[in-house]
Amino acid sequence: MPELPEVETTRRGIEPHALHKVVDELIIRDHRLRWPVPEDLPARLKGATLREVDRRAKYLLLHFDQGTVIVHLGMSGSLRVITDDAPPQKHDHIDLVFTDGVRLRFNDPRRFGCWLWAEDATPHPLLANLGPEPLGEEFNGSYLFRRSRDRKTPVKSFLMDNRIVVGVGNIYANEALFKTGIHPNRPAGRISAARYHQLAEAVKETLAAAILAGGTTLRDFVNSDGKPGYFAQSLLVYGRRGQPCPTCQQPLREIRMNQRSTIYCTRCQR
DNA sequence: CGAACGACCTGCAGGC
DNA sequence: TGCCTGCAGGTCGTTC
């Protein structure tokens, strides 16, 4: 499930339960994630103190004095806080157990997620070529305009390119393009600075609102199914193929772009 | 370099 | 009930 709002909601949900705690043990029930979980990770973490719970793009970064655990939730991953002795369920692949008994439990049916280790001295290759954060100041209309010149790629693909900007997944790309009335297939290099300004603002607004909505369900991170409250009720076009456009009532159309479902209004988006 | 596409994996919805 | 197909919120690696 995770797009950036879910990852940030997860970060905020686990932080108060995990920060400053000492690792008792790391239990790996299944190493077979996107990349194998390092064999020596339990030994590295035993006795280590969690100094910071950070996020970069859709990666959660658990910083210890010795290095950083890089966690990605993939398509189906979740991380939740366990405070009782609930037994692990299907697809509960990893428990990070603290000395006070609280644990972070990683569930990931499709196993597209990862748990990797990085020594902090060298920037990890996964994080090395990422674009700016969408909610940061560096990401704005003039940045998008500048990076898009001479690019013929469809603007939706451009927006979902992690080297351009991180954290804009399929849902929010669809939403932001609808809000700004831009056709997802329009070549990125043929969009004006003014429209890119609107687009950047729409990306920020949509992500910020989704994070805010996720914040209301933070309590669900403890002893729950780990699924943050979804934002679906406020999505304007995603998952609404054939339904009337919120603006003009024209049925929303679905096309495939890069094998991803792309929903837009043929009348409002040009 | 950019762009397109396969690959990874399980679960689920829908058609027959 | 079952079987089959296609689809799902990500993104890396390969190929052209």
Same domain, A102 and A161: no
The SS3 of residue A254 is strand
Q: What percent of chain A has pLDDT over 90?
A: 84
Same domain, A165 and A107: no
Report whether pLDDT(A266) > 70.
Answer: yes
Q: What is the CATH number of the domain that holds A236?
A: 1.10.8.50
Q: In which band, very low, low, confident or very high, does the pLDDT at A225 lie, cut at 50, 70 and 90?
A: low
Sheet holding A59-64, edge to edge: A50-56, A59-64, A68-72, A114-118
The answer as to whether A135 is a domain residue is no
Q: What is the mean pLDDT of residues A59-82?
A: 95
pLDDT recorded at residue A66: 95
Kindly report the average pLDDT of chain A as a whole number: 91
Same domain, A176 and A101: no
Same domain, A149 and A240: yes
Q: What range does the domain containing A43 cover? A: 4-119
Give the up-direction half-sphere exposure of residue A159: CA atoms within 13 A in the CB hemisphere: 32
The answer as to whether A188 is a domain residue is yes
The answer as to whether A229 is a domain residue is yes
Same domain, A39 and A100: yes
Same domain, A110 and A188: no
Question: Does residue A15 reach within 7 angstroms of strand C, measured from its CB?
Answer: no
The answer as to whether A125 is a domain residue is no
Q: What is the CATH number of the domain that holds A85?
A: 3.20.190.10
Same domain, A228 and A259: yes
The pTM score is: 0.94
pLDDT recorded at residue A218: 37
Same domain, A111 and A44: yes
Same domain, A89 and A169: no
The per-residue pLDDT for range A126-145, each reduced to its tens digit, is: 999 999 999 999 999 999 99
Same domain, A151 and A255: yes
Which nucleotides in chain B have some atom under 7 angstroms from a protein Cβ? Answer: 2-11
Cα A76 from Cα A35, distance rounded (Å): 15
- Indicate the number of domains in chain A: 2
Cα angle value A56/A3/A51 (rounded, 5°) = 35
Q: Looking at the C1' of nucleotide B5, which residue has the nearest alpha carbon?
A: A258
pLDDT recorded at residue A227: 52
Q: Which of residues 24-43 of A touch strand B (CB under 7 A)?
A: 32, 34
Report whether pLDDT(A249) > 60.
Answer: yes
Q: Active-site residue among A58, A103, A179, A240? A: A58
The answer as to whether A270 is a domain residue is no
Same domain, A145 and A259: yes
pLDDT recorded at residue A197: 97
Same domain, A149 and A260: yes
| Between residues A66 and A121, the one the model is more confident about | A66
Q: H or E stretch including A116?
A: strand A114-118
Q: A218: which DSSP letter?
A: G
